[in-house]
Amino acid sequence: MLVGKIVTMKVKLTIKLMTWWLVGLILSFTNIAFSASNSVTESPEQVIQELQSSLLQVMRDGQKLGYEGRFKFLEPVIDQSHDIEMIIKTILGATYWSQLDSGQKKLIIDTFRQLSIATYAGRFTHHEGEQFEVIEQRDLPHGQMLVRSQLTKSDGGTVNFDYVLQQTEDRWRIVNILFDGVSDLAIKRGEYRAIMQREGFQALIELLKEKIIQAKQN
């Protein structure tokens, strides 16, 4: 009889241990599924909608915030939506980029980042009823995506913004913007490379710093 009780106790203990093991296994799979769902990136269209929503917000509060306030507000927005390092590397090209040491690369990335944020802070200063509208999203070669949008101004005029995005670090980020069909990347590529060729790296840094000052004064 004692043996029977011991066997019964062992069976109950085994069942309990198996139950806890199954619960743990289920929770483990649940956590994995939850993590996987959280790792899903926003679509390119969502990235642009968030950027433009932030721009409209900073425009509405533009005068109250002032330049410094707009810069601080937009800083994390631009960091998340723009692949600053990829943009400046593409502008300079492999030849000029390979000539820079690690310190110079960090300096130009940081300076170009400051200029990018400053440009937005200097241009989107007040709101007069402007509205953004995303028109379409479509595939581009080499795994890139295009998001076409339009800004309707207070006078009824429109400006077309075409964003080229590339996926990096599980997030879609902007690598080029076309304003009414004109590539911002192409304009900067011609300007920056010409400075590098004629006057060198430090002259380019000084040019970017001057543009930051100009953006602040706009």
- Selection from 217, 187, 206, 192 nearest residue 111 by Cα: 206
pLDDT digits (tens, 9 = 90+) for 155-193: 999 999 999 999 988 899 999 999 999 999 999 999 999
Label each residue of the chain as H, E or C.
CHHHHHHHHHHHHHHHHHHHHHHHHHHHHHHHHHHHHHHCCCCHHHHHHHHHHHHHHHHHCHHHHHHHHHHHHHHHHHHHHECHHHHHHHHHHHHHHHCCCHHHHHHHHHHHHHHHHHHHHHHCCCCCCCEEEEEEEEECHHHCEEEEEEEECCCCCEEEEEEEEEEECCEEEEEEEEECCEEHHHHHHHHHHHHHHHCCHHHHHHHHHHHHHHHHHC
pLDDT the model gives residue 107 = 98
Contact 52, 163 (CB under 8 A): no
Tell me if the pTM is above 0.75: yes
pLDDT of residue 192: 98
Distances (CA, A) of 71 to 58, 75, 156, 193: 9, 6, 28, 27
Where b means 16+ CB within 10 Å and e means fewer, 44-58 reads bbebbbebbebbbbb
Q: How far apart are CA 148 and CA 137, in angstroms?
A: 6
Residue ranges in the chain whose pLDDT is less than 70: 1-40
pLDDT value for 217:
86
Q: What is the dihedral of CA 57, 167, 177, 192, to 10 degrees?
A: 120
Question: Do 93 and 192 meet the contact criterion of CB atoms below 8 Å apart?
Answer: no
